[in-house]
Amino acid sequence: MSTLLKIDVSPRSEEHSISRRLSAQFAQEWKDAHRGGDVIERDLATTHLPFLELPWITGVYSDPASHDQAQRDALSIGDELIAELDAADEWVIATPMYNFAVPAKLKAYIDHVVRSGRTFRVSSEGIPEGLLKGKKATVIISSAGEFYEGAPMEAMDSEKPYLRTILGFIGVTDITFIQAGGTWKVDRALQGREDYLSSFTGQVATAARE
């Protein structure tokens, strides 16, 4: 049975979030195409994700048998998140763009799951290898800015290349990006939400059913 991990980042509710609406459509299309498939939902807006501090740093580079409670607590968050990544065959990550980059919540999530010996390893020659190979990811990025790919502002977009790099680092290279730009029109009531979303439903359906 196939499993999808659905990761939402936006602090807005599905009613008001473009990325959440598109990820919800993706999950439904995916379930229709994978009869009997399971969906794991991870909402980063409601997940406690502390930044990495000393207990995590000392814990990750020491013998687990020597860990104190603070170190165990710090690492247990990542243990749970990594287990979800590992259990799923496919991931959909739906996130807004904040100031041309990933939101702090998503960066905190990434810091917890990119862990040596769990999601990547480094050989004695210093060559990194991702350990989550064979999985597929779809990344949905909503942004107020409208034109990035192939446009003059593309160089300002550090979110898409960063996510491509970090996913590849942990072994996932089969990645589809759906960039929903121009959400400012919806926020300022210059375009209806449903009309805007209709521009991306085809891309989402195709990605979910491939």
pLDDT in tens, 174-202: 999 999 988 989 989 999 999 999 999 99
- The SS3 call for residue 153 is helix
**Mean pLDDT over all residues of the chain?**
94
Q: What is the pLDDT of residues 42-97, one digit of tens each?
A: 999 999 999 999 999 999 999 999 999 999 999 999 999 999 999 999 999 999 99
Question: Residue ranges of the domains in the chain?
Answer: 3-209
Considering the domain 3-209 in this protein, what is its CATH number?
3.40.50.360
List, edge to edge, every strand of the sheet that includes 174-181: 38-43, 3-8, 90-96, 136-143, 174-181
Nearest alpha-carbon partner for 178 in 148, 135, 153: 148
On the question of pLDDT at 35 being above 70, the answer is: yes
Mean pLDDT of 1-30: 96
What is d(CA 28, CA 151) in angstroms, rounded to the nearest whole number?
32
Query: So what's the pLDDT on residue 151?
Result: 65
Q: Is the CB of residue 4 less than 8 Å from the CB of residue 182?
A: no
What is d(CA 139, CA 173) in angstroms, rounded to the nearest whole number?
12
Residue count (the chain)? 210
On the question of pLDDT at 156 being above 90, the answer is: no
On the question of pLDDT at 210 being above 90, the answer is: no
On the question of pLDDT at 148 being above 80, the answer is: no
Q: What is the pTM of this model?
A: 0.94
Strand pairing report for 38-43 and 128-130: unpaired
What is d(CA 115, CA 110) in angstroms, rounded to the nearest whole number?
9
Q: What percent of the chain has pLDDT over 90?
A: 88
